[in-house]
Structures are given as C-alpha cells and as structure tokens.
Chains A and B, each alone.
Chain A
C-alpha cells in the first residue's frame, strides 16, 4: 500500500513541477518585440512565403537609439566558401537576402555572411565581421551586425563565443535530459539502449500530433496549443517508456536474456520505430505551428530568442526536479541502490522490478520532453533522436555510465563543446569533435569523469 502511494506522489510531484514551470514559460514565450534598438533600426518582419530569406540589419550601437548604417555590402557564401550572392543595406540599415532554391534544399545548410569592411562609413568599426547562419527552420532567419565599439571589450570572436555559448546551453540542457534517462536505464538494467533516440523522437512527434489536432487550446485568451502539446508529449512519453519496459524489456529480463542480446534487440527496435515514425510522419523536416519565427531579444551583442530562454528554464527545472527526486526521496535512494548493485538491493528488500519500471517511466518522460523541446527550438524529422543518440552516448560515457551527475555534467561538456568548437573548425565537424572527445576519454579515463574507478573490462 505504501509503495504505490509513494510512486503516485512522485509522479504528481513531477507533473506539478512541470506544470509550474510550464506556467512561467507561458508568460515568457509570447514574442516580444525588442524596442532596445529603437524603431529606426529594427529587423525586417519575417515573411511567410516559400523562399527562405536571411533578414539582417546593420546598426550603429554608439548612438542611443541605435542608428541604421546604410550602404554596407554583405556577401553570402555557403559552407565550402562558394559565393551565393550579396546584399546591400538600405536606408533603414536592413537587408533581405533571398536564398536561391526551395526551402527544402536549403534546410540544414549553413551560410556565412561577411560584411565588406570597405563599404562601412569611415568612422565606424565592425564588432562582428562574419556570422554563420544555420538554416534549421523553413522560416526566414534573422541576423544582426552591430557596429561601433565592441560591447564586451573583446573582439568579434568574443561576441561570437558568447552567442555560441547560448546555443550550446540550450542544446546541453536537452542533451542532459536524454542522457540522464539513458544513464539510469543502463545503471539499473545493464542495457545499453540503442533505441533511446527513438524515445526522443517520440516526444517531438507527440507534441507535433497534438499541435496538428483541429482546434486550439487557449488559456485566458492566449493560444497555448504548443505549450500544452509539449506537456502532453512529456506525459505520453512517460507512458511510452513504461510500455517499452512492460512489453519488451521486462519479459526479456525474466527470460534471462543476456545484455548483449538485449543490446542487439534494442538496435532492432530502433530500426523498427524509426521507420514506423517515417511511415506516419513522412521524411520531411517539420515545425510546430507557433514560435517557429520569433523576434529575438537583443542583449548586448547577443541575439536570444524568448523560446530559447523558456527551453533552458524548463529544462533546468526538470533536471533539478529529477535529480532532487533521485537524491532525496526514498524511491530515489532505492533507484541509486539498484543502479549500484541490483542483487544486493533486492536482498535488502527493494523491489527491483518496480524501481526499473519507474526508471523507464522517468527516462521516457525526460527523453520525450527533450524531443518536444528540440522540435520547438530547431524543428525535427523522424530521425532527430537517432542523430542525437551518439551524442547522448558520448555525454553518458564522458560523465560515467550509470551515474546521475556524470550524465548531466557530460551532457553540458558535450553540448557546449559541439557549439563552441565551431569557433575554430567548420560547423560540419562539430559532431565529429564531440565523438573524438568520447574516444579520447575512454583512452585516458574509461570510467568517465564521475564514474567509480572499478574494473570495467
């Protein structure tokens, strides 16, 4: 009687924690137009047409309100340095560059925008000469070239690093949620789950399916369909995690299937689910109906969208809630005991199967939420989770397989590393770098940063 009650309490606490945060995000999320730049140096409005445009502005920041800079030439190149075209800023300091080709062709590409220093007025200094613009959504993308003294005392590299750190943080939080689930599932069952990425995709798909349902959800007049969709994804993914365990892994455990056999089964499950997702959702990249084109806030040289802030806040809150549950509740202690030594914890009266079931529920929920939020920040397709899987592994192995804090620390290192490495190497190598980190860590500290030094060979 006690234990089910406790489980219910934990679940309710999780849901409550989530809803509270969901509430704050609802206030933060509606797009706010930045009035910092003044009316005269504002970004052009995104247009909802079939062509992806890069919208930009060149503002002189020494004046307040900021002054537009006219007649500056901006060249656009693709990743390998082939020129795509150029644009010149108008009287309001803005330029619009329509990317050639259809939206689908441009998705996933990265364009490099460089301002021609010679065309700047003589008394101005550019803070940022070059910006990489990744096209992740089939919406117009905006970019700002501030002109004047560098705000942070550093050069353009400094500002760029700061901007990348913001992106890296958003990514890290999402990675950490997925990694925590994978690590706990490994810790309690010994299963290296190659289908964990499909739990991530599942969350994005549920949120998308909810978004596509006819009608909208409004609270106090505000359209919150997508926010509710993300919450629904969290809950349905929890159920999906439970189903994974109850329908497949629990029977396999009771048959005494070896962990390598289970690993190969999980590969089969991954291939199966990925193609089922594609069967129903199609191969194209998708976005939710709201928040795909949001006016960014301008904080110093940084461009931060409100949804990025919301995603980081939600993610942080969920991570804090999950780790607190693991750290302080009886159930959390039981979970850590099972992760440490299943046989011994069974002998002390812990119901190991129940703990494993709850870990799957929690792991599924975290992964699904990560997927839904990932879909919110950069859009998704049927294999977004599969693409993420190796980075999740990298994070978990880096921190220490089976540990709680290791998974989170590892995720933040990998997440920030992938983004910040683009300062030095082309963006196409950012995942390569993260995977090389994984291999190097295994070479010098195989148990991971926070893993216990015990025999793992």
Chain B
C-alpha cells in the first residue's frame, strides 16, 4: 500500500482536466436544479452537441475551433428550446424523463454507423486539436512537488479553471440580480410567482438555455481534454456523476459545483487506486477469491451509487448548501 501515490494521483485528478469538466457541467445543473428546480437529466446531451459541433467543424469541414465553439453554443440553445417547449409546462419528473431520453437519442444518433462518415461512429473524431496544442505555453511537465501534470494537461487545466472562474462570476452576478431572484422564487413556489404576473414558462426556458450553455463549455472541455471525442464520453452516467458532484458541494451555492467536483474526483480516484493496490500481486491485501483486480475497478462505482443514495438521504444540502433551499419536493 503506497499512501503517497494514492494522495498524489488523487490530487492530480482532483484538480485535473476531468474535474474541470464536471465542475462546468455541474454549474449548468446548478442553474437548472439548484436555482430553478428544473430536473435536467440530459446534461450529457448538451455537452455532446457542443463538443461534437466543435470537433466536427474543425475536423470534417476544416474550420477554426472558435467557429466550432460558436456553432456549438448556438446548437445548444436550439436543443434547449426544443426540449423546453414540450416539457417545461409539465411536472418535474416529465422533464427528467424527456431530457434523459433526448440525451440518449442524441448519443445513439451521433454514434450511429450511418453517420460514421461525418461523426466517426463509435470511434468518434480525433484530428481537430492541433490549433489548441499549437498555442500551449507549457513546454514540459509541470511538477508541484507531490503532484505533477503533463504540459498539455496543465494547459487544458489553465484554460479550464479560468473558464470555471468566469462561469462562477457569471452565475454569482446572475443570481444576485432581480432575474435570479425570480428563478429562486420559481423553485420555491411557482404559483406565487405566476400570481405576481411573471411569465414562469419564459423564465424556466431562459434558465434551461443558460444552464445548457454551461454544459456546452463542459462539452468543449471534454473534447479538448482527450484530444478526441466519442459517443462513450457522453453516457447517461455522465449526467448522474455531475449531479453527484453538485450535491456534494451543495446545490444553489455558487461555489458548490467547484468544491464538489474537486472533492468527488479526489475521493473517487483515491478509492479506485486503493482497491487496485489492495488486489494487486500474489500476496494482496484483499484475497483474490473475494475481489479480483477486475472487480476492484468496479468498487468506486459501487461507492458512487451508494454515496449518491446516502448523500441524498442524510445530507441533501451537501457541504455548503442550505436544506431549505433545495427543490426536492414535487411541484
């Protein structure tokens, strides 16, 4: 058991590119669920549309990544409008079912063999990242003593955490504005807001679009992190992990998703490495008849599921949240 390597690798993940992606996705969900009470289970769909727009535009139609970003944001808005029109007048669980179904429709369609000429089928797209690599200011790996990142990862992190900071400021500004207070009152009591003459439907739609745009940035970062993009990056579980991240940090708090992402990736990586080390070699800590190394890789997901359940039951407000500010009743 090598404690130092567990801490080092966990810290690497906790602040690494993956944590950036989930922080951004969870910031979007925070606008949806935390502030407005909308149960969007299709954040992976928003991420996928944006990420694929950027990657496909650069790779297939050889346009710049910037144009891809703008097209991606535009298509995300279109998707949010398409999803919102049928569902935002309905109860929360309908929105949940439709968004999760829509995310899966998008994933299966983009990953389909019929479109493999454009989107690469299950293999996805790879050759779009050169312009981003070209402006990488870090020549070698970055070593901070106990933890080190490759130059490319650190470049992705630099861009990513700046993006996270900007998004947090935007959310903070939005939520202290009168507009943000309307969103929170929709979460608390939709009918009361309606009786004050506010167009609840329009506010919900704006919230869905803005949260989806944060999800779009998570999608861009997903493509940039891996220097490739594929349908398997956007499985349903991505949305569920983003929810876990949000709930750990605390919903309806500006920094909740960020702290949640760091804590989540630290814990999940530490668990993963612990069980990998505990089952490695002939004389392992956990005997092979209880757990093989293949089974060890599942332990962190078992803990993820268990953790999400226990979190929601015993501390739904997470680290920073306020229980009274949580939209956990049907409306």
Contact = CB atoms under 8 A, between A and B. Distances in A.
* Residue from the set A267, A273, A429 with the largest chain B CB neighbour count within 10 Å: A267
A279 interface: yes
Given A261-B312, A275-B298, A456-B91, A393 B101 contact: yes
Interface residues of B, number: 49
A268 B113 contact: no
Contacts of A258: 328-330
7 contacts: A261-B316, A268-B312, A431-B108, A438-B98, A440-B86, A446-B89, A457-B90
Given A272-B305, A273-B305, A429-B109, A260 B102 contact: no
Interface in A414-450: 426, 428-429, 431-432, 435-436, 438-440, 442-443, 446
Nearest to B313: A265
A440 B94 CA distance: 13
A279 B298 contact: yes
B107 to A, nearest CB: 9
Nearest to B247: A264
* Residue from the set A428, A431, A456 with the largest chain B CB neighbour count within 10 Å: A428
B309 interface: yes
Interface of A: 79-80, 190, 192, 252, 255, 257-261, 263-265, 267-276, 278-279, 390, 393-394, 397, 426, 428-429, 431-432, 435-436, 438-440, 442-443, 446, 456-457
Given A279-B299, A438-B98, A457-B91, 4 more contacts: A190-B330, A268-B311, A274-B305, A275-B302
B237 A271 contact: yes
Interface in B264-313: 295, 298-299, 301-302, 304-313
Contact of A260 (B301, B311, B328): B328
B39 A279 contact: no
B247 A438 contact: no
Query: Which 6 A-B residue pairings sit nearest by Cβ, starting from the closest?
Result: A272-B305, A268-B308, A271-B305, A268-B309, A258-B329, A261-B328
A386 B298 CA distance: 17
A426 B113 CA distance: 9
Contacts of B308: 264-265, 267-268, 271
B240 A432 contact: no
A263 B86 contact: no
Contacts of A442: 86-87, 90, 94, 98
Interface in B72-122: 85-87, 89-94, 96-98, 100-102, 104-105, 108-109, 112-114, 116, 121
A394 B113 CA distance: 24
B243 interface: yes
A264 B94 contact: no
Interface of B: 39, 85-87, 89-94, 96-98, 100-102, 104-105, 108-109, 112-114, 116, 121, 237, 240, 243, 247, 295, 298-299, 301-302, 304-313, 316, 327-330
Contacts, number: 138
A278 B298 contact: yes
A215 B84 CA distance: 56
B91 A436 contact: no
A265 B309 contact: yes
Nearest to A251: B313
A163 to B, nearest CB: 22
Contacts of A278: 298
A269 B302 CA distance: 9
Nearest to B85: A443
Given A258-B330, A443-B86, A429 B112 contact: yes
Nearest to B237: A271
A73 B112 CA distance: 29
* Residue from the set A273, A426, A439 with the largest chain B CB neighbour count within 10 Å: A439
A259 B330 CA distance: 6
B92 A272 contact: no
Contacts of A192: 93, 96-97
Contacts of A446: 86, 89-90, 94
A33 to B, nearest CB: 37
B114 A80 contact: yes
Contact of B101 (A267, A394, A456): A394
A258 B306 CA distance: 19
Contact of B89 (A190, A279, A435, A457): A457
Contacts of A428: 108, 112-114
Nearest to A81: B113
Given A192-B93, A257-B313, A457-B91, A438 B328 contact: no
Contacts of A273: 305
Contacts of B87: 442
A456 B92 CA distance: 9
Contacts of B301: 271, 275
